[in-house]
Amino acid sequence: MTHAPTSLTLHGYFRSSASYRVRIALNLKGLTYDNVEVSLIAGEQRSDAYLEQNAQGFVPMLVADGQTIIQSMAIIDWIDRACPEPRLIPEEAMPRAVALAQANVIACDIHPLNNLRVLKYLTKDLGLNEETKNRWYRHWIVEGFDALEAMAGEGSFLGGDAPGIADICLVPQIYNARRFEVDLAPYPRLSAIEAACMELEAFQRARPEAVKPG
């Protein structure tokens, strides 16, 4: 078992879905961390100093007691092992598989296709206009949410009676869906789960508006 960290620094961008996930996880664990804003708009993630620590040049990046961890799902898994309570990823084989399947509908199938660098490529390199780009964005959210709505159980959260890794992924994705005017009416279970999450301080303090610079 990894020992609980004594020093944590999260390098992220306030509106990055992946950074948002990690902020929620840290808050749910009750961990104190320093938040360092890395402006994706200004390209700070491609600076030499940042790339020395994170060769991929993405956010988030967590520095824990001087050691660097990248990729949000790996970071959350590390947090869950370093500080086991409350549990975010079930230990038992089947509940773990269910939780990771739900989470990966977003982390593997929706988010990568709607990442900022992908959207920039669609407009800058492929010449898509803003309306077409937004149709692309909404399409992949709708496809993923259709599946996730059917996969949702009966509990207050995707993770059952307490929020888990799937809920941590869901809330930032619904935030993005609203930004791009996705109709959430077909997703009553997902909407109810998001509402339950947002009643918790850990989710409230992780919101982009709560950490936005200035």
Model confidence pLDDT, tens digit, residues 63-115: 999 999 999 999 999 999 999 999 999 999 999 999 999 999 999 999 999 99
The three-state secondary structure class of 37 is strand
> Can you tell me which residue has the tokens 């947002």?
198
Going from N- to C-terminal start, the domains of the chain cover 8-87+205-211, 93-203
The tokens for 126 are: 């492929």
**pLDDT at position 159, please?**
87
pLDDT in tens, 165-191: 999 999 999 999 999 999 999 999 999
Integer angstrom CA distances of residue 172 from 3, 52, 60: 29, 28, 14
pTM (two decimals): 0.96
User: What residue type is 202 in one-letter code?
Assistant: A
What confidence category does residue 2 fall into, taking pLDDT thresholds of 50, 70 and 90? low
CATH superfamily of 8-87+205-211: Glutaredoxin (3.40.30.10)
For domain 93-203, the CATH class is mainly alpha
Q: Is 46 exposed, middle or buried (0-12, 13-18, 19+ CB in 10 A)?
A: exposed
pLDDT in tens, 111-129: 999 999 999 999 999 999 9
Average pLDDT over residues 187-198: 98
Residue 123 · residue 130 · CB < 8 Å: yes
Q: Give the separation between CA 120 and CA 124, rounded to whole angstroms.
A: 6
pLDDT in tens, 141-159: 999 999 999 999 889 999 8
CATH topology agreement for domains 8-87+205-211 and 93-203: no
In whole angstroms, how large is the CA radius of gyration of the chain? 17
pLDDT in tens, 7-62: 999 999 999 999 999 999 999 999 999 999 999 999 999 999 999 999 999 999 99
